[in-house]
Amino acid sequence: MNWYIQEYTVTSDKPEQVFVRRLCDCLDVSFKSNGATSGPETWMLQAYYTLMKELKMDLPALIPQVYLYYDPQTLKQRGYKLFEHQKMDFLMVFSHKNRVVIEIDGKQHYAVENVASPKLYSEMVRAHREMALYGYDVYRFGGYEFVGVDTNKEIKERVIEDLKDFFRRLFYKYGILKEA
């Protein structure tokens, strides 16, 4: 985070909040253009950051919008697709062997407009298998789990608590947190 503070001349006494807000603003662009104040990826980051403050410890970075494989050539230049669903919502690296992908699946993953698409669902499941074969543990959230968070405080609090519980359990699994 020091690079961010220096690069953007952050003068706040809470530079972590400035950094997280910047990430959230970038993630929220498409949701705000559709009238929402935030999207599921922002709530995921908020839950993570809140848990980190509660635990008072450094945790593995939760990196949004990561490409599994980056190739600067276009599909047309290459002549073939590298990886169908290569952009991940979030990546966490616990070690060189333990890498976690977190995906939040909106209807674009399984429907065309409002009609279920077995083809899209099959592509998503295939991508899930591919990521697993590349050594990533993949955890998926359904977009429906976030319905109402933008407009209802009680729902938002429940979802944030559920997300924090998920992260705690994930950290126990990978030995970042120890059972009390």
Of 175, 159, 180, 174, the closest CA to residue 48 belongs to 159
3-state secondary structure of 141: strand
- Decide: pTM greater than 0.85: no
R_g of the chain computed on alpha carbons: 18
Cβ(85)–Cβ(124) under 8 Å? yes
φ, ψ for residue 57, nearest 5 deg: -150, 155
Give the whole-angstrom CA distance, residue 153 versus residue 86.
Answer: 34
| pLDDT above 50 for 71 | no
Q: What is the pLDDT of residue 152?
A: 92
CA distances from 99 to 90, 124, 136 (A): 11, 19, 5
Which stretch of DSSP H or E encloses residue 168? helix 153-173
Return the higher-pLDDT residue of 163 and 22.
163
What tens digit of pLDDT does each residue of 3-50 get?
A: 555 665 666 666 666 556 665 555 545 445 555 456 788 889 889 999
Tokens of 106: 């909106």
Give the whole-angstrom CA distance, residue 82 versus residue 103.
Answer: 19
CA–CA–CA angle 32, 66, 153 (5° rounding): 35
Q: Which residue has the tokens 């494989």?
A: 69
Give the whole-angstrom CA distance, residue 153 versus residue 126.
Answer: 36
pLDDT above 90 covers what percent of the chain? 24
CA distances from 31 to 22, 58, 96 (A): 15, 29, 34
Give the whole-angstrom CA distance, residue 64 versus residue 29.
Answer: 14
Give the length of the chain. Answer: 180
Residue 162 bridge partners (DSSP): none
Ordered by start, the domain boundaries in the chain are 2-173
Q: What is the pLDDT of residue 42?
A: 86
